[in-house]
Amino acid sequence: MVNAAYVIVALPLLGFAVNLVFGRRLGEPLAGWVGTAAAGGSFVAALITWVAMLGKPANMRAADLGIYTWVPVAGLHVGLGLLVDPLSLTMLLFVTGVSSVIHLYSIGYMHRDPGFDRFFIYLNLFLFSMLLLVLADNFLFAFVGWEGVGFCSYGLIGFWFQREIAAVAAKKAFITNRVGDVGFLVAIFFIFFHFGSLNYSRVLGTLVHGHATGLMAGAPGAIATSTATAITMLLFLGAVGKSAQIPLYIWLPDAMEGPTPISALIHAATMVTAGVYLMARVAPMLHYAPDTSWMIASVGAGSAFLAASIACAQDDIKKCLAYSTISQLGYMFMAEGAGDYTDGLFHMLTHAFFKALLFLAAGAVIHALADRQDMKQMGGLARYMPVTAITFTCAWLAISGIVPFAGFWSKDAILDSVWQFNKVLWGIGAFTAGLTAYYMSRQVALVFLGRARWQEARPLVSGAGAGAAHEPAEEPAGEPGLPAPAHGGEPHDAPWTMTLPLVLLAIASVLGGGINFDAFGHFDFLSRFLAPVFPTATPVVVGTATKWALSLVTLAACLAGIGLGLRTWVSGEHPALEPAFLQRAWFFDSSVAATVSGPLQAGASALAFVVDRKWVDGAVNGVAAGLRASGRALRWAQTGYMRTYLIGMSVGLIAVLAYLTFRVGS
Amino acid sequence: MNLFAATGLAVASAWAVYGVGAALILAGAAAVVGLRNPVHCALGLVSTIFGTALLFIDQGAYFLAAVQVIVYAGAIVILFLFVIMLLGVDKKEPRSAGTFASLGPVAAGLGIVAVVELLVLARVHYWATGAKSTTAALSGPGADVQKLGQSIFTGYLLPFEMTSALLVIAVVAAVALVRRGSGAPPQAPPKKAPATLRPPAKAPEAPAPGRAGAEPAGEKTRVAG
Amino acid sequence: MSVPGDWYLVLAAVLFGIGAAGLVVRRNILVMYMCIELMLNAVNLTFVTFSRMLDDLGGQDAVFFVLVVAAAEVVVGLGIIVAIYRRRAGATADDVNSLKG
Q: What is the pLDDT of residue A579?
A: 75
Angle in degrees, CA A10, A515, A304, rounded to 5: 90
Could you tell me if A609 and A656 lie in one domain?
yes
How is A163-206 classified by DSSP, letter by letter? SHHHHHHHHHHHHHHHHHHHHHHHHHHHHHHHHS--BHHHHH--
Q: What is the pLDDT of residue B135?
A: 58
* Residue A360 pLDDT greater than 50, yes or no: yes
Indicate the average pLDDT of chain B.
Answer: 75
Calculate mean pLDDT across residues A398-426. Answer: 88
Instruction: Look at A529-543, A645-659, B28-42 and tell me which has the smallest mean pLDDT.
Output: A529-543
Instruction: Tell me the chain A residues in contact with residue C94 when contact means C-beta distances shorter than 8 Å.
Output: 641-643
- A649 — contact with chain C (CB < 8 Å)? no
C99 to A640: CB separation less than 8 angstroms, yes or no? yes
List the chains bordering chain A where 3 or more Cβ pairs fall under 8 Å: B, C
A640 vs C20, C23, C97: nearest CB: C97
Could you tell me if A539 and A439 lie in one domain?
yes
* Total domains in the fold of chain A: 2
Q: What is the pLDDT of residue A221?
A: 67
Q: What is the pLDDT of residue A481?
A: 31
Calculate mean pLDDT across residues A258-272. Answer: 86
Could you tell me if A561 and A599 lie in one domain?
no
Indicate the average pLDDT of chain A.
Answer: 83
Using CB atoms within 10 Å of the CB of residue A244, give its burial: 0 to 12 exposed, 13 to 18 middle, 19+ buried: buried
Could you tell me if A367 and A398 lie in one domain?
yes
To the nearest whole percent, how much of chain B has pLDDT over 70?
61
Instruction: Look at A364-368, B97-101, B110-114, B162-166 and tell me which has the smallest mean pLDDT.
Output: B97-101
A641 vs C20, C23, C97: nearest CB: C97
d(CA A177, CA A182): 9
Banded model confidence at residue A63, pLDDT cuts 50, 70, 90: confident
Q: Among the three residues A553, A581, A609, which one is the final residue of a domain in this structure? A: A581
A653 to B100: CB separation less than 8 angstroms, yes or no? no
To the nearest whole percent, how much of chain A has pLDDT over 70?
91
Tell me which amino acid residue B62 is.
Y
| CA-to-CA dists, residue C44 to B62, B64, B68, C15, angstroms | 14, 10, 10, 11
Distance between A636 CA and the closest CA of chain C, angstroms: 7
Could you tell me if A618 and A564 lie in one domain?
no
Distance between B190 CA and the closest CA of chain C, angstroms: 13
Q: What is the pLDDT of residue A195?
A: 86
pLDDT in tens, B175-208: 888 777 654 455 545 454 455 555 555 444 444 4
Distance between C101 CA and the closest CA of chain A, angstroms: 5
Could you tell me if A652 and A525 lie in one domain?
no
Q: What is the pLDDT of residue B96?
A: 55
Banded model confidence at residue B163, pLDDT cuts 50, 70, 90: very high
Domain of residue A364, residue span: 293-455+497-581
Indicate the average pLDDT of chain C.
Answer: 85
Q: Among the three residues A549, A581, A613, which one is the final residue of a domain in this structure? A: A581
pLDDT in tens, A605-640: 888 888 888 888 888 999 999 999 999 888 887 877
Instruction: Tell me the chain C residues in contact with residue B222 when contact means C-beta distances shorter than 8 Å.
Output: 90
Q: Which residue has the higher pLDDT, A479 or A351?
A: A351
Q: What is the pLDDT of residue A489?
A: 60
Instruction: Tell me the chain B residues in contact with residue A650 when contact means C-beta distances shorter than 8 Å.
Output: 110, 114
Q: Which spans in A274-340 are helix H?
A: 274-281, 283-286, 290-311, 317-337
The model carries a pTM of 0.64
Instruction: Tell me the chain A residues in contact with residue B124 when contact means C-beta distances shorter than 8 Å.
Output: 664
Calculate mean pLDDT across residues A559-574. Answer: 82
Q: What is the pLDDT of residue B129?
A: 63
Calculate mean pLDDT across residues A266-284. Answer: 88
Calculate mean pLDDT across residues A428-435. Answer: 92
Q: What is the pLDDT of residue C9?
A: 87
Q: Give the burial string for A614-635 (b: 16+ CB within 10 Å, else e).
A: eeeeeeeeeeeeeeeeeeeeee
* Residue A5 pLDDT greater than 80, yes or no: yes
Q: What is the pLDDT of residue B214?
A: 41
Q: What is the pLDDT of residue A134?
A: 93
d(CA A266, CA A159): 13
Calculate mean pLDDT across residues A399-421. Answer: 87
Calculate mean pLDDT across residues A441-455. Answer: 84
Q: What is the pLDDT of residue A157?
A: 92
Could you tell me if A379 and A523 lie in one domain?
yes
* Residue A467 pLDDT greater than 50, yes or no: no
Q: What is the pLDDT of residue A466?
A: 41
Banded model confidence at residue A296, pLDDT cuts 50, 70, 90: very high
- B121 — contact with chain A (CB < 8 Å)? yes
Q: What is the pLDDT of residue A461?
A: 41
Distance between C88 CA and the closest CA of chain B, angstroms: 6
Q: Which residue has the higher pLDDT, A456 or A249?
A: A249
Q: Is the preceding omega at residue B38 within 30 degrees of 0, hence cis?
A: no
C93 to A637: CB separation less than 8 angstroms, yes or no? no
Q: Identify whether A145 is part of a domain.
A: no
Could you tell me if A515 and A641 lie in one domain?
no
How many whole angstroms from its chain centre is CA A17?
Answer: 24
Q: What is the pLDDT of residue B127?
A: 61
Calculate mean pLDDT across residues B58-63. Answer: 88
- Please state the domain extents for chain C: 28-90
B49 to C70: CB separation less than 8 angstroms, yes or no? no
To the nearest whole percent, how much of chain A has pLDDT over 90?
32
B117 to A643: CB separation less than 8 angstroms, yes or no? no
Q: Identify whether A482 is part of a domain.
A: no
Shortest CA distance from C99: residue in chain A:
A640
Using CB atoms within 10 Å of the CB of residue A588, give its burial: 0 to 12 exposed, 13 to 18 middle, 19+ buried: middle
C69 to B55: CB separation less than 8 angstroms, yes or no? no
Banded model confidence at residue A237, pLDDT cuts 50, 70, 90: very high
* Residue B220 pLDDT greater than 50, yes or no: no
Q: What is the pLDDT of residue B217?
A: 41
Task: Report the complex ipTM.
Answer: 0.90
Q: What is the pLDDT of residue B199?
A: 54
Could you tell me if A385 and A516 lie in one domain?
yes
- Please state the domain extents for chain B: 1-94, 137-177
Q: What is the pLDDT of residue A130?
A: 94
Cβ atoms of A515 and A351 closer than 8 Å: no
Non-local CB neighbours of B84 within 8 Å, separated by 6+ positions: B38, B39, B42, B90, C30
Q: Judged by CB atoms within 8 Å, which residues 621-660 of A form the interface with B?
A: 641, 643, 647, 650-651, 653-654, 657-658, 660
Is domain B1-94 annotated with CATH 1.20.120.1200?
A: yes
Distance between B183 CA and the closest CA of chain C, angstroms: 17
pLDDT in tens, A485-509: 334 467 777 788 888 888 888 888 8
* Residue A475 pLDDT greater than 60, yes or no: no
Instruction: Tell me the chain B residues in contact with residue A653 when contact means C-beta distances shorter than 8 Å.
Output: 114
Q: What is the pLDDT of residue A210?
A: 62
* Residue A15 pLDDT greater than 70, yes or no: yes
d(CA A136, CA A202): 14
Instruction: Tell me the chain A residues in contact with residue B113 when contact means C-beta distances shorter than 8 Å.
Output: 654
Cβ atoms of A605 and C68 closer than 8 Å: no
Q: What is the pLDDT of residue A457?
A: 52
Q: Which residue has the higher pLDDT, B101 or B108?
A: B108
Q: What is the pLDDT of residue A12?
A: 92
Cβ atoms of B48 and B21 closer than 8 Å: no
Task: Give chain B as a 3 state SS string.
Answer: CCHHHHHHHHHHHHHHHHHHHHHHHHHHHHHHHHCCCHHHHHHHHHHHHHHHHHHHHHCCCHHHHHHHHHHHHHHHHHHHHHHHHHHCCCCCCCCCCCCCCCHHHHHHHHHHHHHHHHHHHHHCCCCCCCCCCCCCCCCCCCCHHHHHHHHHHHHCHHHHHHHHHHHHHHHHHHHHHHCCCCCCCCCCCCCCCCCCCCCHHHHHHCCCCCCHHHCCHHHCCCCCC
Q: What is the pLDDT of residue A187?
A: 94
Banded model confidence at residue B105, pLDDT cuts 50, 70, 90: confident
Angle in degrees, CA A47, A48, A50, rounded to 5: 65
Could you tell me if A564 and A607 lie in one domain?
no
Q: What is the pLDDT of residue A465?
A: 39
Q: Identify whether A648 is part of a domain.
A: yes
A646 vs C24, C96, C98: nearest CB: C24
